[in-house]
Amino acid sequence: MDRRRLLSTGLWAVAALSQLGFASAQTADGFGEGYAIGDGARVYFVRLGEGPLLVFLHGHPDSWALYEAQLREFSRDHLVVAPNLRGYPPSDAPDSVEAYAMPRLLGDLHGLLDHFGRERCILVANDWGGYVGWVFASAYPERVERLIILNAPHPVIFLREVRTNHAQISASQYERAFHTAAPPYPRWYNYYRADPIKVPSSIVEATAMEMPNLSGQFFAGVGRPPATTSLRLSVPTLVIWGLSDPTMLPGLLDGLEDYVRDLTVVRIDYAGHYPMRSHPGLVNQAIWEFVRRSN
């Protein structure tokens, strides 16, 4: 039995135990595990270590296991926590599209921090997790000590690129299939269906599309009032970018300094969408240097 199948078996056992009132258990790989209460959904997580809190958010279609190398590395002197986003069992997977809108995802992250009794964390995020990370860190800087992004575009810059850049429009065409898929389809498609940014088929089509009010839709009905809805970041931010990513092109880095006050960018030439997997040594070194920085 491989590691993933063994872990899956363990997860179902934990789910059964939780119904009997047990708060946490342990995976076959030695991680502690449990559930936090998010915005109307239970969010499963794994944890390891003790100390300052690092939270790792995955994207689609992934799980907490995306970061296993980083979880083991940074658990040496941190409490590392990696949830499965809603829609990814054993986290809850609501049916409605609205359940995957940004306000609900922000609420899940608040719930995770509250579960551990922590006001702040260092937030590490990739892909759609990074999309949430950008918004959360901009709106709730008091809850994010530092932000670390791996191949995930800032929403404003992504909107610019899929309205004006032929290459990025072409690279993002895969998203359109998530909107047209007939049910039943994977629950994580609903992240794209709830997203106010829609990828056009071409620049010609983009010119006819209404420009969405990102701030208005990202914070409509949030449980906690944001400090700002500007989508500009005051927290120190490290962006690690695999330059060989076929879907997130390097143009998404252009102009990022206009939205991030304290920005560090590390480019990895031969890495793709998952630099934490292909170049774990380089990624871990960049994160260590960033988290140990004095300011």
More confident residue, 75 or 17: 75
Q: Would you give the distance in Å from CA 165 to the centre of its chain?
A: 24
85 contacts 108 by C-beta, under 8 angstroms: yes
Least confident stretch, 21-25, 79-83, 196-200, 213-217: 21-25
Q: How confident is the model at residue 29 (pLDDT cuts 50, 70, 90)?
A: confident
Query: Is pLDDT at 16 greater than 80 in this prediction?
Result: no
Check residue 136 and give its pLDDT.
99
Cis (ω within 30 of 0) for the bond into 212?
A: no
Residue 242 has pLDDT above 50, yes or no: yes
Nearest partner of 75 among 100, 41, 99, 51, judged by Cα? 51
Is the pLDDT reported for residue 21 higher than 70?
Answer: no
DSSP 8-state symbol, 61:
T
**Tens-place pLDDT, residues 72-100:** 999 999 999 999 999 999 999 999 999 99
- Other CB atoms within 10 A of residue 119 CB: 10
Percent of the chain predicted with pLDDT > 70: 92
**Mean pLDDT computed over 214-237:** 97
Q: What is the pLDDT of residue 60?
A: 98
Which pLDDT value is given to residue 227?
98
Per-residue burial over 58-91, b if 16 or more Cβ lie within 10 Å, else e, is bbbebbbbbbbebbbbbbeebbbbbbbbbbbebb
* Domains of the chain as residue ranges with CATH: 47-78+92-291 (3.40.50.1820)
Looking at residue 234, its pLDDT comes to: 98
Of the candidates 242, 227, 235, the one whose C-alpha atom is nearest the C-alpha of residue 276 is 242
Q: Which secondary-structure segment (H or E) carries 268?
A: strand 263-268
Q: What is the pLDDT of residue 294?
A: 81
Give me the pLDDT at residue 27, please: 72
CB contact set of 195 (below 8 Å; sequence gap of 6+): 102
Measure the CA–CA gap between 56 and 149, rounded to whole angstroms: 10
243: pLDDT strictly greater than 60: yes
Mean pLDDT in residue range 48-52: 97
Q: What is the mean pLDDT of residues 274-285?
A: 98
If you average pLDDT over residues 160-174, what whole number do you get? Answer: 98
Phi, psi dihedrals of residue 49, rounded to the nearest 5°: 85, -175
Q: What is the mean pLDDT of the chain?
A: 92
Average pLDDT over residues 126-150: 98
Confidence tier at 28 by pLDDT (50, 70, 90): low
Better pLDDT: 12 or 199: 199
